A and B are shown apart, each in its own frame.
Chain A
């Protein structure tokens, strides 16, 4: 079974600074997908970024980028130029490619962006 671990329950960053959220996972599969979701206080779960394991290039979406280390099974999220609106819970998630695979979430990291 796959597991996803987010070892940082809470983090804080000042506005305009850069922060990195950690995520590690465990799987025996070779092809899979990794996701970062953001859940602000409004509770809407929003997809931030997605990475296919077979792609070596790290995914980037504007101020959000990932550092995907397949051998180390690590998938960290970097947020550059942090904004107050980035304050939210961030969830890392894994999904294999088998028909029985499901989306497995970590326990989340609460990020607070301060002035």
Chain B
């Protein structure tokens, strides 16, 4: 399988549930990202990992917990979410995160999350 994959593609959860989103990249990249896409709003960067180390956390609530066990996998653990957290969660990867020529980000298909 090539590119960036995400599972599950759709997720419905209650506010007391705990779930995890998974992202896997097959591009040999060193940096991975989580974005949130809500209706009528620009994509919001949530987290950046470079070589498995978190390099950016954009004031995301603690009910979202990222994990990057290696450079190919990225998780987003969810717990006690709110209805306003319903959105499309996109994962992306790039060669590096330092802003050079290898910065082009490639996106996965997203997970559509609905919090009831």
Contact = CB atoms under 8 A, between A and B. Distances in A.
Interface of A: 4, 33, 35, 37, 42-47, 50, 52, 91, 95-108
Interface string B71-111: 00000000000000000101010000011110111111110
A96 B42 contact: no
Contacts of B99: 95-99, 101
Interface residues on B, range: 20 to 34
> Top 9 nearest A-B pairs by Cβ distance?
A45-B107, A97-B99, A105-B43, A105-B42, A44-B109, A101-B99, A43-B110, A107-B42, A99-B98
Contacts of B88: 43
A100 B109 CA distance: 26
B48 interface: yes
Contacts of A44: 107-110
Given A45-B90, A46-B107, A102-B48, A91 B56 contact: no
Given A43-B88, A44-B109, A33 B42 contact: no
A100 B98 CA distance: 8
Contact of B104 (A35, A96, A102, A106): A35
B112 interface: yes
A3 B62 CA distance: 27
Given A102-B48, A107-B41, 12 more contacts: A37-B107, A43-B110, A44-B108, A44-B109, A47-B104, A91-B43, A95-B99, A97-B100, A99-B99, A103-B33, A103-B103, A103-B105
